[in-house]
Amino acid sequence: MDLEKIKKAVVEMNENATRELVNLALKEKVEPRQILEKGLIAGMKEVGRLFSCQEYFVPEVLLASETFYAGFDIINPMLKLQKIPPKSKVVIGVVEGDIHDIGKNIVKVMAEASGHQVIDLGDNVPVSKFIETVEKEKPDVLALSSLMTTTMMQMEVVIKQLEAKNLRKKVKVIVGGAPVNQDFANKINADGYGKDAAEAVNLIEKLARG
Amino acid sequence: MDKINAVLKRERKLAVFPIVGADHCARLLNIDFSEVATDGKKLARVLEYGYQLYKYDMVLVFSDPYVEAQALGCEIEFKPYPSLVTAKTNKRFDRTSVIIEAAGILKKKVDVPIFVSIKGPFSLASFLVGIDKFLKILLKDENEAKQAIDEALEFQLRYLEELLSLNVNIFLGDPVASASVISPNTFQKYAYKPLQILINKIKAKGLIAGIHICGETKPLVNILDTLTADILSIEDITPKTKTIKMGGVSTQTILHGTKAKIRAEAQIALEQAPIILATSCDVPPETSSENIKELIKYGQK
C-alpha cells in the first residue's frame, strides 16, 4: 500500500477516499503507526505548508482536518493499545468573552497530528478553568487564543493568575489570534507567539523540548 | 468642507480617526457596556463623549459586531462585551433601532461626518450559519452558502435604507472575509458582489462608503480596490490603491506602544497620503486616552 495515497486524500480533503484507503492499508497489515505518520500526519503537514504559503486558507484547513480525523478515528483504538507516549501535553483554549475558535481548532488538529496530546477547553474559557486545568493536568504548554481586541487582555489575566498561584514557571504559555503579535506576547510575559497554526505547532515542539 | 471629505477629494493630505467605538467610551464613563449596546440614547451619549474628549475628524456609530446577527436570531452574551453564543435561532432581538436612534442623535449634535458600521453580508451570513460550518459549506455546499449570504444581504439592504434616510455615511465591516480566513478566490466568489451592491446603494445617495477588513488584507487589496468604495480601512496600508486608505497604526501600538512608536508608525503612514490616519482595527477598550490623544495630535499637525 502506497501511503502517499492517504497523504494525497487528506490534502485533497477527500474524507471517503481517506477512510477507504486507511481500511485498505489495515487490511494489508500496514502498521497503524505507519498509516498515521506517513499517511495522515504527512497529509496534515502538507496542508500546514500550503496554509503557510497562502495556497490554502481556513476553509481548506477545516475540511482537511475533518478528513484527517476520518482516518485517525479508525486507527486511534489500535494506537491506544500500543501506548505510544505523546511528544508533549498541551492545554488549549479561547479566552473568556471570545467564541472565535477556528484558529484554536486548527492549532489543535495540527498539534495532534504532530503527535502531541491536546486537552481542548473550547471557547469562552474562564481564567479559573485555565488555572484549574494547569494545576490538574500539568501540561508542558498552555496555548491561549483570542480573536478580538476586547478579549485579548484576558490572556494577561491568565498569566498573572498563573504567577499568583506559583504555576507560571511550570508551564510554557503561548498566545495567538488576529489582534495579537510578538510585542504583545512579550508585554504580557508569554513564552511565545504563533502567527499561524504551523508556527504555533513549531513553538509547541520547541518549548516542549525545553 | 470637513477634513474627511477634503481628504476624499484629495484637497487635503490628512484626517485622523483612531477607530474608537462605544466599548472604549463606555469604559471611560464607567458605564456597563450592555446598557450602552441596548439603549440608543446612552450609545449616542458615550460616543459624543468620546468625540468631545478627542476631537477626531469623524464619528463611528459602532457598538459591537453582532447587532444584525442578533436581529436575525443569533444569541449573544455580554461578558462584559458581546460575544456570539449561537448561530441563528428563532429568538430575534432587534438592536438596529438602537443604532439608528444613536446615529440620528449624533447627526444633530456632532459637526463631523457620522459613519455607521454595518456588517458585510459574507460575515453576517457566517454568524447566522455558525462560522465553522459556514467556512466548510463554502467548499462543500455552494447553494447553502449563497442562500445564507442572500438572506444577510436582504436584511442589510433594508437596514441600510433606514440608515441612509438619516444621511449618515456607512462603513461595511467584513472581518470573516479577511485573507486571514478565506482565499482571494473565495472572496471574489462570495463576498465581493454583496459588498458591491451595498456600496453602489450608499454612493447613489451621495454618501460615503467605507470598507473595513482587518487581519491579512494584502492578497485582497487589488480586488477591494475595484469595489470603488470611498475608503479602504485595512491592516496593511502599504500597497498602492486608487481608493483612499485608512489605517497606519496597529492596535497593539495604540494599546501598549510608546508615544514615540505611535508617532513613528503615523509618520510611515503619511507616505500613503492622502490618508485617514487611523488604527488598523477598533481600539481595545483598555487603551489609554494619552495614546489616543497622541495619534490625534499627530494627525492634526
Give this complex's ipTM.
0.92
Chain B residues lying within 8 Å of A63, measured CB to CB: 136, 139-140
**A122 interface with B at CB cutoff 8 Å:** no
CA distance B223 to chain A (A): 16
Cβ atoms of A96 and A45 within 8 Å: the answer is no
Cα separation values, A147 from A144, A150, A175, B176, B213, Å? 10, 9, 11, 11, 14
Q: What is the pTM of this model?
A: 0.89
DSSP type of residue A9: H
B131, B250, B284 ranked by CB distance to A150: nearest: B284
**A126 interface with B at CB cutoff 8 Å:** no
B83, B131, B219 ranked by CB distance to A97: nearest: B83
A99 and A197 housed in the same domain: yes
A142 and A170 housed in the same domain: yes
Scored b (16 or more CB within 10 A) or e, B284-293 reads bbebeeebbb
Domains in chain A: how many in total?
2
> Which residues, listed in sequence order, are joined to residue A19 by a DSSP beta bridge?
none
**Grid coordinates given for B266:** 503615523
Q: Which residue in this structure is represented by grid cell 441563528?
A: B88
CA distance B123 to chain A (A): 13
Element (H, E) at A92: strand A89-94
B-chain residue closest to A63, CA distance: B136
Output the pLDDT for position A72: 92
CA distance A55 to chain B (A): 8
Output the pLDDT for position A19: 98
Residue A95 main-chain phi, psi, to 5 deg: -65, 165
Q: Which residue in this structure is represented by grid cell 471557547?
A: A123
Chain A residues lying within 8 Å of B252, measured CB to CB: 179-181, 183-184
A137 and A193 housed in the same domain: yes
A201 and A131 housed in the same domain: yes
Domain-terminating residue out of A49, A67, A82: A82
B136, B219, B252 ranked by CB distance to A183: nearest: B252
Domain B3-299 class, CATH top level: alpha beta
Q: Which domain does A39 fall in, by range?
A: 4-82
Q: Are A62 and B79 in contact (CB < 8 Å)? A: no
A54, A148, A187 ranked by CB distance to B256: nearest: A187
**A63 interface with B at CB cutoff 8 Å:** yes
A77 and A93 housed in the same domain: no
Q: Which amino acid is at B147?
A: Q
CATH number for the domain spanning A73: value is 1.10.1240.10
**A124 interface with B at CB cutoff 8 Å:** yes
A122 and A174 housed in the same domain: yes
Domain boundaries, given as residue ranges, for chain B = 3-299
Q: Choose, out of A50, A55, A57, A129, the residue to mutate when testing the contact with B (most B CBs < 10 Å).
A: A57
A112 and A202 housed in the same domain: yes
Mean pLDDT (10-residue bins), chain B, 301 residues: 96 96 96 96 98 97 96 91 87 95 97 97 97 94 97 98 98 94 96 98 98 91 97 94 96 90 96 95 92 95 77
Q: Which residue in this structure is represented by grid cell 511565545?
A: A192
A120 and A172 housed in the same domain: yes
What number of C-beta contacts closer than 8 Å exist between A and B?
84
Domain-terminating residue out of A82, A116, A131: A82
CA–CA gap between residue B38 and residue A49 (Å, rounded): 45
Contacts of residue B46, defined as CB under 8 A and 6 or more positions apart, other chains included, come to B22, B25, B26, B28, B29, B31, B36
A111 and A185 housed in the same domain: yes
Cα within 13 Å of Cα(B62), Cβ side:
26
The parts of chain A modelled with pLDDT lower than 50 are none
A77 and A105 housed in the same domain: no
CATH number for the domain spanning A201: value is 3.40.50.280
A201 and A108 housed in the same domain: yes
Output the pLDDT for position A88: 92
CA quadruple A134, A61, A197, B64: dihedral sign: negative
**A50 interface with B at CB cutoff 8 Å:** no
A72 and A103 housed in the same domain: no
